[in-house]
């Protein structure tokens, strides 16, 4: 991407005012509007000249000859550069976000909750994606006999996810039999992905024709859909919420419909975040110009960050919204949730 043109303090002040006003109103901004908020008392005529220079530099466009100016993608990029590292999350948003994650203590639930919280905070689309990895591997299982031919199967993953299911057996098993089965699985398959454990047990079961077959069928039902599958076959969990927010803020319904269909293909969302979010990055990243990767994402922006526990990347979180969005609140919300993710999951360790 070419370097942004350099502009002086006066141009920067006027450009910032135009971007903030347009974000707030959605209407083209005229020189008289800027003059009412200008701290230096510049006249509308002087401001018009500066706006003409900003247009020549590629920061402003004019939808109609008699209308005011609107920011271009270059203007939004410049605006984001100016506020990056200088904005703080408001106490209200901090309290609101922290309260939303009360009682959450595993990766899957945190990221699922994240998509909802980000959609509320930003009025955009909240997106969170889990990455397949070791924390989706088996930690341990436990079986309890409830009644004849009925057991409770409990599975715990390394990420702390706990799933349970009542399973009906063809043959009754004693609690001792169940403990033996659980001990075998825990001793031999702790740290394995479900796919690998199933493959190995299938081989053993074929040889021994034991009741472990029923146990693994129970585990497979608990995680039907690949929640514990290996990294090559496991679908990433993708949480998307707040798509309706874009309907109210975008006028081009045909293009919006195409974009919504893209969001419904959730793997594309995961690919989008993977393309733009570097797992090594420390700060929130703002990407304006998503159409470079997906043409249907024209006029949309992505604000995202990796979700880490310590140095281990567990997923990513982001907001997808129109270029005319509240950058300050959204950037701070994404950054705060990323830090909260690390804090909450680290405390659980």
Residue 5 pLDDT: 65
Tokens at residue 203, please?
A: 């081989």
Evaluate whether residue 4 is within a structural domain: no
Residue 252 scores a pLDDT above 60: no
Which pairs with CB-CB distance under 8 Å and at least 24 residues apart come from 39-48? Answer: 39/13, 40/10, 40/13, 42/10, 42/14, 47/14
Tell me: the pLDDT tens digits for 256-295? 566 666 665 666 777 788 878 876 777 899 999 888 777 7
**Out of 192-201, 208-217, 286-295, least confident range:** 208-217
How confident is the prediction for the chain on average, in pLDDT? 80
242/337 same-domain check: yes
Whole-number percent of the chain with pLDDT over 70: 77
Confidence class of residue 235 from pLDDT cuts 50, 70 and 90?
A: low
Domain boundary among 199, 222, 245: 222
* In the predicted structure, residue 143 carries a pLDDT above the cut 70: yes
Domain containing residue 203:
134-222
Residue 324 pLDDT exceeds 80: yes
**Which pLDDT does position 259 carry in this prediction?**
63
pTM, full prediction: 0.68
Asked if 306 and 167 sit in the same domain, the reply is no
If you average pLDDT over residues 173-200, what whole number do you get? 81
Tell whether 279 is covered by a domain. yes
**How many domains does the structure of the chain reveal?**
3
Q: Is 103 helix (H, G, I), strand (E, B) or coil?
A: coil
Can you tell me the distance from the alpha carbon of 178 to that of 56, in angstroms, rounded to the nearest whole number?
76
Question: pLDDT > 90: what percent of the chain?
Answer: 26
The answer to the question of residue 3 being in a domain is: no
**Same domain, yes or no, for 250 and 266?**
yes
CATH code for position 37: 1.10.10.10
pLDDT band at 228 (very low <50, low <70, confident <90, very high): very low
Q: Would you state the pLDDT for residue 322? A: 87
Does residue 338 sit in the same domain as residue 241?
A: yes
Helix locations, 26-105, DSSP H: 31-37, 44-56, 73-83, 91-100
Measured in degrees and rounded to the nearest 5, phi and psi for residue 149 equal: 60, 15
pLDDT at 162 over 50: yes
Average pLDDT over residues 123-140: 74
Is residue 107 within 8 Å of residue 314, measured between CB atoms? yes
Residue 26 token pair:
């959605």
CA angle 259, 289, 53 (to 5 degrees): 130
Beta carbons within 8 Å of 325's beta carbon, 6+ residues apart? 23, 122, 123, 124, 301, 319
Tell me which of 156, 190, 222 is where a domain ends: 222
- CATH number for 108: 3.30.450.40
One domain, residues 124 and 138 = no
Task: Convert 15-31 to b/e letters by CB count within 10 Å (16 or more is b).
Answer: bebbbbbbbeeeebbbb
Q: Check residue 226 and give its pLDDT.
A: 44
Confidence grade of residue 227 (pLDDT, cut at 50, 70, 90): very low
The alpha helices in the chain, defined as continuous H runs, are 9-25, 31-37, 44-56, 73-83, 91-100, 107-122, 175-189, 194-208, 212-222, 244-249, 253-264, 266-276, 327-348
Please report, in angstroms and rounded to a whole number, the separation of the first and last CA atoms in the chain.
41
SS3 277: coil
Q: Would 217 be classed as within a structural domain?
A: yes
DSSP assignment string, 329-343: HHHHHHHHHHHHHHH
């Amino acid at each position: 991407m070419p370097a942004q043109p350099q502009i002086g303090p006066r141009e920067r002040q006027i450009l910032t005012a135009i971007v903030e006003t347009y974000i707030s109103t959605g209407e083209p901004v005229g020189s008289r509007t800027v003059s009412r908020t200008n701290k230096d008392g510049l006249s509308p005529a002087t401001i018009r000249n500066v706006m003409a220079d900003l247009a020549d530099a590629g920061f402003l466009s004019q939808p109609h000859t008699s209308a005011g100016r609107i920011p271009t993608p270059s203007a939004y990029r410049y605006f984001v550069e100016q506020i990056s590292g200088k904005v703080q999350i408001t106490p209200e948003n901090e309290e609101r976000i922290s309260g939303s994650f009360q009682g959450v203590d595993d990766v899957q639930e945190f990221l699922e909750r994240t998509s909802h919280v980000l959609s509320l905070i930003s009025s955009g689309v909240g997106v969170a994606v889990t990455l397949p990895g070791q924390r989706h591997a088996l930690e341990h299982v436990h079986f309890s006999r409830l009644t004849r031919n009925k057991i409770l199967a409990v599975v715990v993953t390394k990420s702390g996810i706990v799933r349970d299911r009542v399973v009906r057996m063809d043959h009754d098993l004693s609690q001792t039999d169940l403990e033996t089965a659980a001990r075998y699985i825990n001793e031999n398959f702790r740290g394995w992905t479900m796919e690998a454990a199933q493959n190995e047990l299938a081989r053993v079961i074929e040889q021994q024709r034991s009741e472990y077959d029923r146990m693994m069928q129970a585990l497979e039902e608990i995680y039907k859909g690949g929640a514990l599958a290996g990294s090559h076959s496991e679908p990433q969990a993708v949480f998307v919420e707040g798509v309706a927010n874009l309907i109210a803020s975008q006028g081009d319904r045909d293009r919006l419909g195409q974009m919504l269909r893209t969001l419904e293909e959730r793997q594309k969302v995961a690919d989008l975040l993977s393309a733009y979010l570097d797992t090594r990055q420390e700060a929130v990243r703002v990407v304006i110009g998503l159409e470079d990767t997906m043409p249907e994402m024209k006029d949309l922006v992505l604000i995202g960050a990796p979700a880490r526990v310590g140095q281990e990347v567990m997923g990513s979180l982001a907001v997808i919204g129109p270029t005319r969005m509240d950058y300050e609140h959204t950037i701070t919300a994404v950054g705060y949730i990323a830090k909260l993710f690390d804090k909450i999951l680290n405390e659980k360790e």
